[in-house]
Structure formats: structure tokens, C-alpha cells
């Protein structure tokens, strides 16, 4: 039966007006029932061609299910395709009596849920990957109320980690000549600094700007993640000047030629269904290499990043202590709890900056979770280079962090040692400028951490000297 015939039959049945005892249209019940039967049939198929045909038919049925029936189908996937307990028990007993590699492999096979194989086969249909990514996006909003869906979510994430690994990703530069469908996705997906229409987008793709994205063959015109870069002189400390409209392309080319620094000012994940699948660490390092090859006069690569958890952390901290700073900070609460930059007392700047430095340099292994943006860049080997007062005066920046923004410097000579220091014991590598904002006791810990990181870097260099691996390859291989 062709897909068109299936679709026509289902559309006709949907208009029959018949209802079952529960008051639901009979056609809707039949569609859900058919989807379940197709899923069971797909799992029993042995031939690749016939399996692909059933997968295609299943996706066509799922596309016309109403929201309630899609939810029912997801619950069906989560609950009806678990490993066979009898087989798992027998495999476990075999392994316990004979813990051989063969027995371990049989146990792993026994515990592999049939649901994963079903999802793999659903992926054989044209557009199957996109449909499964969309399914996981829908699941995300229901995990709290329906914990049984966590099994399905976990299996999808497990499969996506393989299907979207770095080897399958393609890095592309996006410019004003890129397909309109891709450019529209940038406007829609920008998550850090909203793009206000086509003129704003054109400015962000000007000669003194760069934009790179990862794509996957199964989603050829849909970016997975993209980064926006500004080519500037010196370390940019505020984002608003980077977003100013400027249509003079000749001036932009001159700025690009004179630039010595690449500022990564926005990184946006585009697919909610791929949450938890990391792309950003690979993206930044590869873009650094691309920029070095294209613009050899660039000497510095840094982010201009938000501090999304700072204000929430500071409010909570001051509420639980008798710190006199609480009364001072209350002066800047206006309206809906927003900061009014022109009315800030200059005496508050060092106070807020000191708190922000303390927040970002907390020992990650022993204290509260590190700020998510800081955790990403520090874990990626960057150094906390500078904390910028009123770096983002947009309402969101004020609300999240009193307008503070941060530069994380990607120094290719120290990426590996910085990464090791942070991952192994939570040490936050930072510059002397950041250190100057901290109390002496914390500064001493920074010096000790720097010395430890230096020893780690020396060991890496020693290992490198005794190997045949090029230094640039080793530094960017993590």
C-alpha cells in the first residue's frame, strides 16, 4: 500500500463522524491503534526495504494524530518496549557464575531495551531523524508530570549522542549569500541577543563579522548550533556597540583588516530535542582554527558572555545573611526588580563586581553548581579574563546579572592545562585583573592554582616533546 493511499484512507476516516463509547471520534481511535500496530510490526520486520516502508507509513500516521493521541503513543513507547525480565535475569545469573567477556556481552544485549531498536528503525524513514528530534522536544515539557517518559527520553538521548557525534557534523560559514531558509533559521533560533529582522541580520553578517554553524546530513538546512563573532581591536567589554546598525561595508572591511581580536558574543543551540548533546566545545575550537587560517593577523580569541545565574545567586545569599551589602543593593531595585543604570551610585560598582568575581571563582567541586555559562567555557579550557561593568544594558542582561558580562579567553597555549585544572579539582584559572577584585585569601588560592596549572602544562609539553604529535593537533584534540 502506498503512502498516499494510507494518507487518503486516514483522512477519509477522520471525517466519518463516528464516536466510540468514550465520546472520541472512532477515526481518531483507529489512527492511534494503527500507529501502535505499525510500531509492533516495524520491530518484527527483518528486511531493510520493508522496514523502511513500514517506518515511513508509521511517521505518516503519527503526523496526523491529534495532540492527545501523540501523548498516548509516546506513553506506549515508554512502557511497552522494556527488556524481558526473564531474559535479563538469566543473562545476569550466567554472568555472575562466569564473568567472561562473552557473558558480559550477552548481558548487555539482554538489557538493551527493544524500544531503542524500534527507534533505530523509525529513523530509517525519510525525515525520521527530524521527527524523532521533534518527539523528544515534545517530551521535554511533560517529564515532570509523566516520569515514565524519562525512559523514552533517555533512549532518544542515548541514540542522538551517536547519531550526532562530531564525525557526522559539518561546519559551515553562514553569510549573506547563504540560502534564505538558513538565514531565517538564524533569526528564529538566536537565543542570546535577539535579531530584529533582516537589516539586523545583515549587520551581523557584515565583513567585520563571522557566523559559523554545525549542520547534520539528516537536517541539511537546519543548523544545530551557531556562533556569532565580531572582529575588533582589543577586548570588547560591552555587547551593545557590537549590535549597532552600520550599513557601511567598506568601513566594516577596514575594521576586519585592522582587528586583532575575535569576540564570540553569541552561541545559540537550535534544537530543543537535542538538549544534553554537546556541540559548543567542538564548535568554538574549530572556529578558532578557521579564523586563524583566514585572518592570520588575529592574536586573541575571547568570548563576551552573560552571567545568567549571578543576580539570583546574590539575592539568595544576601537574604540568608546579615551582610550590610543587602541594604546597599536594595537601592538599585526599581520597578519589577530591574536595575536602572543611570541611577546607580558609583559606590555600588566595586561591591557588585567583587560579588561577581567571588561567584565566578567559587570552587566548583565543593560549592554550589557553577554558573552554566562559566562551567561550559572553563571546562572547555578558557580563562576567566575580565569582568565588565554594564556590559549588557538590555533588560535581560540587567535582570540576570546587573548588566555584567564576562570575557573568557581561549589561549591555545594554556587550553589543556586550564581544562585539566577545572575538571580535576574545580580550579578556576583567571587573570590578574579578576584576581584584583577578590579578597587576599582567595587570591592566594589563585596563585597556588596557577602554579599547579603551570606544572601540568609543563608535563604536557614534555610529553609532546617526546612524541611525534604536532602541538596544534594536541592542543585542539580535546
**Catalytic residue ranges:** 305, 377
Secondary structure of residue 173 in the 3-state scheme: strand
DSSP string, 281-347: HHHHHHHHHHHHHH-TT--EEEE-B--TTHHHHHHHHHHTS--THHHHHGGG-BTTTB--GGG--TT
Cell numbers describing residue 167: 564525525
Q: Which residues of 369-380 are buried (b: 16+ CB within 10 A; e: fewer)?
A: ebbebbebbbbb
Question: Is-contact 300 261, C-beta < 8 A?
Answer: yes
Residue 127 sits at φ, ψ, to 5 deg, of 80, 5
Separation of alpha carbons 279 and 219, rounded Å: 15
Separation of alpha carbons 399 and 332, rounded Å: 11
Separation of alpha carbons 459 and 454, rounded Å: 9
Question: Is-contact 453 421, C-beta < 8 A?
Answer: yes
DSSP state of 232: E
Amino acid at each position: 500500500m502506498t503512502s498516499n493511499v494510507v494518507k487518503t484512507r486516514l483522512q477519509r476516516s477522520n471525517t466519518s463522524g463516528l464516536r466510540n463509547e468514550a465520546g472520541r471520534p472512532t477515526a481518531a481511535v483507529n489512527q492511534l491503534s494503527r500507529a501502535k500496530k505499525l510500531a509492533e510490526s516495524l520491530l518484527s520486520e527483518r528486511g531493510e526495504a520493508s522496514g523502511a516502508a513500514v517506518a515511513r507509513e508509521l511517521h505518516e500516521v503519527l503526523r496526523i494524530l491529534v495532540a492527545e493521541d501523540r501523548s498516548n503513543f509516546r506513553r506506549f513507547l515508554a512502557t511497552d518496549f522494556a527488556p524481558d525480565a526473564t531474559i535479563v535475569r538469566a543473562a545476569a545469573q550466567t554472568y555472575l557464575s562466569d564473568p567472561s567477556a562473552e557473558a558480559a556481552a550477552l548481558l548487555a544485549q539482554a538489557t538493551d531495551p527493544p524500544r531503542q531498536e524500534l527507534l533505530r528503525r523509525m529513523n530509517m524513514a525519510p525525515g525520521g531523524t527530524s521527527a524523532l528530534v521533534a518527539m523528544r522536544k515534545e517530551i521535554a515539557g511533560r517529564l515532570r508530570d509523566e516520569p515514565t517518559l524519562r525512559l523514552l527520553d533517555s533512549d532518544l538521548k542515548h541514540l542522538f549522542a551517536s547519531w550526532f557525534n562530531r564525525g557526522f557534523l559539518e561546519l559551515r560559514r553562514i553569510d549573506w549569500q547563504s540560502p534564505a531558509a538558513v538565514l531565517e533559521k538564524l533569526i528564529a533560533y538566536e537565543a542570546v541577543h535577539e535579531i530584529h529582522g533582516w537589516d539586523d541580520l545583515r549587520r551581523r553578517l557584515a565583513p567585520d563579522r563571522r557566523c559559523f554553524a554545525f549542520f547534520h546530513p539528516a537536517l541539511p538546512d537546519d543548523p544545530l548550533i551557531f556562533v556569532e563573532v565580531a572582529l575588533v581591536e582589543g577586548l570588547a567589554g560591552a555587547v551593545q556597540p557590537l549590535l549597532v546598525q552600520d550599513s557601511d561595508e567598506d568601513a566594516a572591511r577596514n575594521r576586519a583588516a585592522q582587528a586583532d581580536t575575535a569576540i564570540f558574543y553569541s552561541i545559540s543551540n537550535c534544537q530543543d530535542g537535542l538538549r544534553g548533546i554537546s556541540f559548543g566545545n567542538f564548535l568554538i575550537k574549530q572556529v578558532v582554527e578557521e579564523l586563524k587560517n583566514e585572518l592570520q593577523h588575529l592574536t586573541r580569541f575571547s568570548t563576551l558572555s552573560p552571567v545568567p545565574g549571578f543576580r539570583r545567586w546574590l539575592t539568595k545569599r544576601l537574604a540568608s545573611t546579615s551582610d550590610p551589602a543587602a541594604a546597599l543593593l536594595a537601592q538599585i531595585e526599581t520597578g519589577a526588580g530591574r536595575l536602572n543604570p543611570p541611577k546607580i551610585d558609583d559606590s555600588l560598582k566595586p561591591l557588585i563586581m567583587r560579588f561577581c568575581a567571588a561567584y565566578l571563582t567559587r570552587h566548583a567541586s565543593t560549592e554550589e553548581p557553577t554558573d552554566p555559562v562559566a562551567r561550559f567555557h572553563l571546562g572547555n579550557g578558557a580563562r576567566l579574563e575580565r569582568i565588565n561593568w554594564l556590559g549588557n544594558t538590555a533588560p535581560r542582561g540587567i535582570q540576570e546579572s546587573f548588566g555584567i558580562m564576562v570575557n573568557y579567553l581561549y589561549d591555545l597555549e594554556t587550553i589543556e592545562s586550564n581544562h585539566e585544572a577545572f575538571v580535576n579539582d574545580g580550579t578556576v584559572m583567571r587573570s590578574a585583573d579578576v584576581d584584583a577584585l577578590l579578597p587576599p585569601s582567595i587570591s592566594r588560592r589563585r596563585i597556588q592554582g596557577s602554579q599547579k596549572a603551570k606544572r601540568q602544562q609543563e608535563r604536557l609539553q614534555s610529553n609532546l616533546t617526546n612524541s611525534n604529535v604536532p602541538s596544534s593537533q594536541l592542543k585542539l584534540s580535546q
